[in-house]
Chain A
Amino acid sequence: EPEVTQTPSHQVTQMGQEVILRCVPISNHLYFYWYRQILGQKVEFLVSFYNNEISEKSEIFDDQFSVERPDGSNFTLKIRSTKLEDSAMYFCASSLEGGTGELFFGEGSRLTVL
C-alpha cells in the first residue's frame, strides 16, 4: 500500500541551526501538508501546498519556516534558525483531492532542539 515517508525519523540540533525535514508524498497526490505535535499536545496545522505554492498557513508558520517541492517527488520543510520551542514531532501528509479528500500521514520526524 502506498505510504508517505519521512526522513529523518529523529534529528537533534543545536538552537539557531537550520533544519530540513524531508517527505516523499504518495506519488499521484496533489495536495501536501505539514503538521506538528509538541509532546503531549494536539496536532497543529502548519502549512498546506498545492500547485507549487502555499495554499494556507497558520500563525505558527512564520518567516523562520519555508516549504519546497524541489523535484516533483520530495516535499521539504525548512526551519531557518531553530528555537527550543520548535522541538516537536513533525508530520507530513498528502491527499489526492482537496476539500474532503482523505489525508495520508507519514510516521513523523522528531526534532529535538538543544
Chain B
Amino acid sequence: DAKTTQPNSMESNEEEPVHLPCNHSTISGTDYIHWYRQLPSQGPEYVIHGLTSNVNNRMASLAIAEDRKSSTLILHRATLRDAAVYYCILREPHSGNTPLVFGKGTRLSVIA
C-alpha cells in the first residue's frame, strides 16, 4: 500500500476551522484518499473520501492537491466532539475486499 504521512498531533480552538494535512507522494493514479476518525473509546468511523476533485459532506471537506500528492481534511468549525485521531488512508478501488490499512494518524485536541 502507498504510504501516507500525517503530523502526530494538532490542536485547535473550539468553533475555529481545522486543516489536517496528509502527504501521499507515492500515490498511484487509481488510489482513493479516505479519511476516518476514531473518537476516544470507539471504533473508527468514516469521514470522507475522494479521488481528484474536492469533496464536501456534512462532516467535513476534503481538498486534494492538483498533483494528488497531498490532501487536507477541513473541519469547518471544530467542536469538542471532534477531538479524535484522524487517519488518512489510500485505498485501491479494484474489485475485492481491499482492507483499510491504518497508520498512526493525527491526534486532534480541541480546546474550549
Contact = CB atoms under 8 A, between A and B. Distances in A.
Interface string A21-60: 0000000000101010000001111001110000110100
Nearest to B102: A43
Interface stretch (A66-74, A76-84, A99-107): A99-107
Contacts, number: 67
B43 A31 contact: no
Interface of A: 4, 31, 33, 35, 42-45, 48-50, 55-56, 58, 91, 93, 98-100, 102-108
A108 B34 CA distance: 21
Given A42-B104, A48-B97, A99-B96, A91 B43 contact: yes
Given A48-B98, A91-B44, A102-B49, 14 more contacts: A43-B44, A45-B99, A48-B97, A48-B99, A55-B96, A93-B43, A99-B96, A100-B32, A100-B93, A102-B46, A103-B44, A103-B46, A105-B43, A105-B44
Nearest to A47: B99
25 contacts: A33-B100, A43-B102, A45-B99, A45-B101, A48-B97, A49-B97, A50-B97, A56-B98, A56-B99, A91-B43, A91-B44, A98-B98, A99-B91, A99-B94, A100-B34, A100-B93, A102-B46, A103-B36, A103-B44, A104-B46, A105-B43, A105-B44, A105-B45, A106-B43, A108-B42
Taking chain B's interface residues, is the majority helix, strand, or loop, or is none over half, making it mixed?
loop
Taking chain A's interface residues, is the majority helix, strand, or loop, or is none over half, making it mixed?
strand
B103 to A, nearest CB: 7
Interface string B31-49: 0101010100011111001
A43 B97 contact: no
Nearest to A105: B43
Query: What 9 A-B pairs are tightest by C-beta distance, nearest first?
Result: A105-B43, A55-B97, A48-B97, A43-B102, A99-B93, A102-B46, A45-B99, A91-B43, A100-B32
Nearest to A102: B46
